[in-house]
Amino acid sequence: MTDPAQENTQQFSFKAETKQLLNILIHSLYKDREVFLRELLSNASDALNRLRFEMVTNQNVVDPKAELSIQITADKDTRMLTIQDTGIGMTRDEIIENLGTIAQSGARKFMEATKDKKVDFSQVIGQFGVGFYSVFMVAEWVSVTSRSYRPEAEAVTWYATGEDNYQVSAAAMSERGTKVQIKLKEDAAEFADEFRIKNIIHKHSDYIGFPIYVGDSKEPVNKQTSLWRTSRQEVTEEQYKDFYRQTTLEFDEPLMHIHMVTDAPVQLYALLYIPGKAERGLLSLRKEDGLKLYSRNILIDEYNKDLLPEYLRFVQGVVDSEDLPLNVSRETIQSSTLMMRLKKVLTNQVIRELETLAKNDAEKYQTFWQEFGGYIKHGVATNAAEAEQLNSLLRFKTNLHPESWSSLEDYAGRIKEGQKHIYYIVGEDPKSVLRSPHLDYFASRGTEVLLLTDPMDSFMLMGLRKYKDYELQNVAQAEIDTSEKPKEQAEAEKIPEADFGALVERFKQVLGERVTDVRASNRLSQSVARLVDPEGALNPELQRVYKYLGKEYEVPKKVLELNPTHKILKSLLKLDSGSDLQTAIIEQIYDSALLVEGLHPDPSSMAPRMQQIIEAALANMREDSK
């Protein structure tokens, strides 16, 4: 006699990586074995969520009236534990795919991640798409019997002991959903104890949005409200962090969370997080940016990008609104006025919370700024609706406070009597920018200048023209506020006019087309020369933007301004006019000016000339000492 079930049984072999993973799980002694229950309940909850989503549009399912719930039964004597849900279920093909084949890449990644023991295994197994296998930490064998919601599908059983193979056979189950039966190992008998089970649920799965029943009790064990719908007072820091890890698939702690509940102008719950780092962990499995969007507890979008502006795309978390209609397509949701309102409310809240953070915890805000400042600048650059508010989030280093971060408000508070502008200088890095000749004049007067050395700064400036009543002005612009008269340079120190005129001619000869003019400047004190923009030039920020964008980049033609009191120029006059050395020094003065502007296209090209100048200087010394 042949058993019809037997006849239907098919044997499969796990893939190599999955075998390895199972082997580790079976033989290692993990102290947090209880997390297997969290993983199975999370799968049941996913399955219920998916069914609920399906039923929004399709009532033609098995058991349409069945309660969406999870039932756990346990028997200490036989060490059997059963977890049954009324979720979406699996067909034969799906069960093979989901529990047999596809897990292998996740298995490999998981093993890599936990190899160095730095990552807590029990925290993260669920993040690799292999959470189900954690059951083999406690199971002698597992059988999963499932009946898909599709009326035509047939029930199926998957069975494995954690060794190399698993079996799939036809099953007799009339009700929709999935039943996971576990024969517990001898040393895992504790998990057949109802009291222990309830404790684990409270600890790890309290917020699952479907009732979990244990044993004969008609009372659900779990709270059921999702964390974001729970009032702030009831949620602990630990729960916020846990939730972050579970929803964002990050291992690190978040920098901060924003938990909001509003009724007007829209009804919404949101639990948002600012991650600890801008870059996602190397092992992070999160595929995209975006927020999880729920409506009435149903997940309608995993990675929604329309709820926050582009420049806040680093924010992660969940948004849930009762006002969103369920039975419309994602495209319609996207463009609805409700979405716009949600976006506005969320954006304002995030900015407000960041302002508060800046006020209350400067150190944490600094971390935020270092990680995410570029995003905020992006917001300013794109002239976001919130640009004004965003300005208050900006932080700068300045020539007077090069080590700390100042806000525009700080700057404005320190501004001197009569100063009408906020000055800034753009350059490559904070050190070299401090040596810029453009700062000479400001340094001598003790005027504060913002140091803008981040590539994003040039973009930001396109949207940041003014703060309060102060217009922003680049110190490299030839004509600065004329009302602020520079100190008169001592006439006696200047090179006589006729000599200076000859020198200017030499410069023009040597530099030719590369400069639009050469002239004297009364703004320089320490520096020998500087480059300024001719009238009507493309503004310097834009020049840099082009450079960063990798657009065809030509060194912009500028005016070379010379310091008529400078020693170098005086010595230069003493050299034979037209000599190689004089020419080399003129070239070098121009190149150095380009360099401090951050505009030199090929700095290493200066090396041979420097050598020439050094050789000449040394030869000169020998001559002097003769």
For ligand ADP, the binding residues (CB under 6 A) are: 39, 43-44, 46-47, 85, 87-90, 98-99, 103, 129-132, 178
- Please tell me the count of residues contacting Mg ion according to CB under 5 A: 2
With beta carbons less than 8 A apart as the criterion, state whether 160 and 167 touch. yes
2: how many CB neighbours lie within 10 A of its CB?
Answer: 6
- Residue 90 or 390: the one with the smaller Cβ distance to ligand ADP is 90
Q: Judge contact between 260 and 318, C-beta under 8 A.
A: no
The total of other beta-carbon atoms located within 10 Å of residue 3's CB is 9
Of these partners, ligand ADP, Mg ion, none, which one is at the site of residue 531 (CB under 5 to 8 Å by kind)?
Answer: none
Q: Rounded to an integer, what distance in angstroms lies between the CA atom of residue 173 and that of residue 340?
A: 47
- Residue list 266-325, contact with Mg ion (CB under 5 A): none
Binding region for Mg ion (CB under 5 A) out of 12-20, 40-48, 523-531, 551-559 = 40-48
**Three-state SS letters, 83-126:** EEECCCCCCHHHHHHHHHHCCHHHHHHHHHHHHCCCCCHHHHHH
Residue type at position 196: R
Q: Report the residue number, 97 or 193, with the smaller CB distance to Mg ion.
A: 97
Asked if 106 touches Mg ion (CB under 5 A), the answer is no
* Cβ contacts of 191 within 8 Å, gap of 6 or more: 33, 34, 36, 37, 74, 81, 138, 184, 197
Judged by beta carbon distances under 5 to 8 A according to partner kind, the member of ligand ADP, Mg ion, none in contact with residue 569 is: none
Looking at the Cβ atoms of 131 and 309, the one nearer to Mg ion is 131
Q: Give the shortest CB-208-to-Mg ion separation in angstroms.
A: 12
Q: Which stretch binds Mg ion (CB under 5 A): 38-46, 460-468, 499-507, 570-578?
A: 38-46
Q: Which of Mg ion, ligand ADP, none has residue 598 at its interface (CB below 5 to 8 Å by kind)?
A: none
Q: Which of 91, 97, 99, 76 is nearest to 21 (CA)?
A: 99
| Nearest approach, Cβ of residue 141 and ligand ADP (Å) | 17
Q: Which two tokens stand for residue 563?
A: 């310091």
Compute the least distance from the CB of residue 151 to ligand ADP, in Å. 17
Q: Contact, 320 vs 262, CB < 8 A?
A: no
Cβ closest to Mg ion, residue 135 vs residue 451: 135
Report the C-alpha gap between 228 and 241 in whole angstroms: 13
Q: How many CA atoms lie within 13 A of 597 on its CB side?
A: 30
Contacts of Mg ion in 497-516 (CB under 5 A) = none
Candidate residues 18, 43, 86, 145; the one interacting with Mg ion per rule CB under 5 A: 43
DSSP bridge partners of 562: 520, 529
Name which of 40 and 350 has its Cβ closer to Mg ion.
Answer: 40
349 binds, among Mg ion, ligand ADP, none (CB under 5 to 8 A by kind): none
Order of strands across the sheet with 397-398?
A: 397-398, 449-452, 421-426, 470-474, 466-467
Min CB(171)–ligand ADP separation in Å: 14
Stretch binding Mg ion (CB under 5 A), from 6-14, 35-43, 79-87, 267-275: 35-43
CB of 235 to Mg ion, least distance (A): 23
Nearer CB in complex with Mg ion: 135/480: 135
Question: In angstroms, rounded to a whole number, what is the distance separating the alpha carbons of residues 533 and 476?
Answer: 7
Q: What angle do CA 514, 518, 521 make, to 5 degrees?
A: 135
Q: DSSP string of 397-455?
A: EESSSSSS-B-HHHHHHH--TT--EEEEEE-SSHHHHHT-GGGHHHHHHT--EEEE-SH
Tokens 């039966």 locate to: 181
Q: How far is the CB of 200 from Mg ion (least distance, A)?
A: 16
Q: How far is the CB of 198 from ligand ADP (least distance, A)?
A: 20
In angstroms, give the least distance from the CB of 217 to Mg ion: 25
Closest CB 239 distance from ligand ADP, rounded Å: 21
49 binds Mg ion (CB under 5 A): no
Choose from Mg ion, ligand ADP, none: what does 90 bind? Cβ within 5-8 Å by kind: ligand ADP
Nearest CB to ligand ADP, comparing residues 66 and 328: 66
Task: Name the minimum Å distance from CB 164 to ligand ADP.
Answer: 18
Q: Among residues 90 and 308, whose Cβ is nearest to ligand ADP?
A: 90
| Nearest by Cα to 280 from 312, 248, 255, 306 | 248
The pair of structure tokens assigned to 585 is 């020094």
- Give the number of other Cβ atoms within 10 Å of residue 423's Cβ: 23
131 part of the interface to Mg ion, by CB under 5 A: yes
Q: Smaller CB distance to ligand ADP: residue 98 or 489? A: 98
Find the shortest distance in angstroms from Cβ 351 to ligand ADP: 34
- The distance of closest approach from Cβ of residue 44 to ligand ADP in the complex, given in angstroms and rounded to an integer, is 5
Q: Bridge partners of 598?
A: none
134 lies in the binding site for Mg ion (CB under 5 A): no
Q: Give the C-alpha separation, 498 to 480, whole Å.
A: 27
Q: How far apart are the first and last CA of the chain?
A: 119
By beta-carbon proximity to Mg ion, the closer residue of 49 and 73 is 49
What amino acid occupies position 218? K
Which does residue 379 touch among Mg ion, ligand ADP, none (CB within 5 to 8 A, set by kind)?
none
Identify which of residues 99 and 339 has a Cβ nearer to ligand ADP in the complex: 99
Stretch that binds Mg ion, among 124-132, 286-294, 431-439, 480-488 (CB under 5 A): 124-132
Q: Which is nearer to Mg ion, 53 or 500 (CB)?
A: 53
98's contact among ligand ADP, Mg ion, none, with CB below 5 to 8 A by partner kind, is: ligand ADP
Compute the least distance from the CB of residue 125 to Mg ion, in Å: 9
Strand partners, 258: 272
384 binds, among Mg ion, ligand ADP, none (CB under 5 to 8 A by kind): none
Query: Which amino acid would we find at residue 364?
Result: K
- Per-residue burial over 178-214, b if 16 or more Cβ lie within 10 Å, else e, is bbbbbbbbeebebbbebeebbebbeebbbbbbbbbbb
Q: Residue 97 Cβ, how far from ligand ADP at the closest point, in Å? A: 8
Is the Cβ of residue 94 or residue 454 nearer to ligand ADP in the bound state?
A: 94
Which one, 105 or 366, has the nearer CB to Mg ion?
A: 105
Reading the block at residue 540, the tokens are 């310097």
Residues that bind Mg ion in the complex, under the rule CB under 5 A? 43, 131
